[in-house]
Amino acid sequence: MQTTLQNDVPTELRDKVTRMGLLHEIFQGLDLTETQLNTARDRYEAVGKWLAGGDDPVLKPASIYPQGSVALGTATRPIRGNEFDVDLVCFLLGLTTATDPASVKALIGRRLRQEARYAAMLEEKPRCWRLNYSGQFHLDITPAISNPRCANGGELVPDKQLRQWKATNPKGYRRKFEQYASLAPSFSIEFAEARARAGIEPFPNNTRSKRLLPLVVQMCKRYRDIYFLDRDPALAPVSVILTTLIAWSYAHCARSASYPSELDFVIDVVRRMPEFIIRENRGGAIYYSIPNETTEGENFAEKWNRDPRLAASFFEWHQGLTLLLGAFNEARGVDKVAKVLSVAFGESAVGTAVARWTNAITSARTSAELSVAPGVGLAAGHATGTRIPHNTFFGR
């Protein structure tokens, strides 16, 4: 191993930590802002009050809560335009499976149309209602009722034909995701000591706030969105499949191995995703299953069994991301690193993150104030710390 040291940190390890810091910076820049999230929350809470505020006894106990990427903290800004998705559940207490799904959905639509501002932005979808807040976001409201057969407190939602109720469990899924995200991966003694001595990624702000699991989910979803810009978007892997496979792979890797660095861990999590797809041979055909472990009867991969192109598209996407992460890990020089990441995550997002990094380093070096301060990381203006040599810029 090359051992040009910076505060006794091997160059190879330092490069890996810096690369990981760059990923954090990219996806911090792609996060929805607190203002966006708070505005969306205010809007859907107001919708919930409106639905429950009428005279209909079925809607009186209605409650709305978020599901999907906004609830999990894995949402990213859209590539085109400004509007992002907020998936919502409108839970109706007291209804049973004897109630027709179509009539429940229609009931919510009628109530929304009674308010002029909602009627003006209302759009009907196969099993939900969408409220379009132009230039901001749209709220997708799906009705749900209790699932008496689910021991985990699951719910039932309409299928797309509105003919029957289907099992789901958004709250249980979120709890399980949080459990996985709380698992701490195991790293080598060298990495742990290096991180304890000095946070050595050169970024001006704290980019370490996001936990690794949500970060990897964002990374995979962003690459999917970029990958399918010039492909058939109908074949793109849905977010719940990506999120589930990443979460299972993350938990397996966190529990079963030790890694030289966070970057090595992330690469292995992505690489192992297909291992958690259940495959069965049924009469010579492959049957795919990615079950919702928080309820019974929900297979996230059910469409793969009706359209084999979906499974093939997932594996092609996965191979592309795996190759790109390998190229990212091997690239030398900031220009080559940025080029690889731009292919994966978009030129604008990567360019902004790299510019912040290089500007911070250049500014600090010009003022001769760049140092590694033990315990707090690479920073400008600290009175104490170890002066560092000229930065290697990812091995260049």
pLDDT of residue 125: 97
Domain final position from 168, 199, 228: 168
**What residues contact 233, with CB distance under 8 A and at least 6 apart?**
none
CA-based nearest residue to 43, from 9, 86, 98, 5:
86
**pLDDT for the residue numbered 81:** 77
User: 168, 194, 216 — which closes off a domain?
Assistant: 168
Are 72 and 96 in a shared domain?
yes
Question: Of 139, 168, 197, which closes a domain?
Answer: 168
Instruction: Give the three-state DSSP class for 80.
Output: coil
* 152 within some domain: yes
Of residues 344, 319, 318, the one with CA closest to residue 331: 344
Q: d(Cα 338, Cα 354) in Å, to the nearest integer?
A: 7
Q: Residues in the chain with pLDDT < 70?
A: 1-9, 194-209, 360-361, 364-396
Give the pLDDT confidence score for residue 367 in this predicted structure: 61
**71 and 208 part of one domain:** no
Q: Is residue 58 in a domain?
A: yes
| 3 lies in some domain | no
How many C-beta atoms surround the C-beta of residue 247 within 10 A? Answer: 26
What pLDDT shows up at residue 202? 44
CATH code for the domain in which residue 120 is found: 3.30.460.90
- Domain region containing 51: 34-168
Question: What is the tens place of the pLDDT at every residue in 223-270?
Answer: 999 999 999 999 999 999 999 999 999 999 999 999 999 999 999 999
Residues 19, 39, single domain; the answer is no
Q: Does some domain include residue 5?
A: no
Q: Are residues 268 and 328 in the same domain?
A: yes
- Residues 161, 26: one domain? no
Tokens found for residue 269? 């999590």
Residues 189 and 102 both lie in one domain: no
For the record, the structure tokens of 56 come out as: 């209909």
- Contacts of 356 by beta carbon, 8 Å cutoff, 6+ apart: 25, 203, 204
Whether residues 108 and 185 fall in one domain: no
Q: How far is CA 72 from CA 170, 211, 390, in A?
A: 10, 12, 40
CA distance 65 to 292: 19
Question: What are 45-82's pLDDT values in tens digits?
Answer: 999 999 999 999 999 999 999 999 999 999 999 998 77
Look at residues 300, 280, 181, 174 and name the one whose alpha carbon lies nearest to residue 237: 300
Domain count, the chain: 2
- Confidence at residue 83, expressed as pLDDT on a 0 to 100 scale: 87
From the DSSP assignment, how many helices (H) and strands (E) are in the chain?
13, 14
Q: In angstroms, how far is CA 93 from the centroid of its own chain?
A: 30
Q: Give whole-number Cα distances, 160 to 58, 84, 130, 166, in Å.
A: 22, 22, 15, 10
pLDDT value of position 80: 84
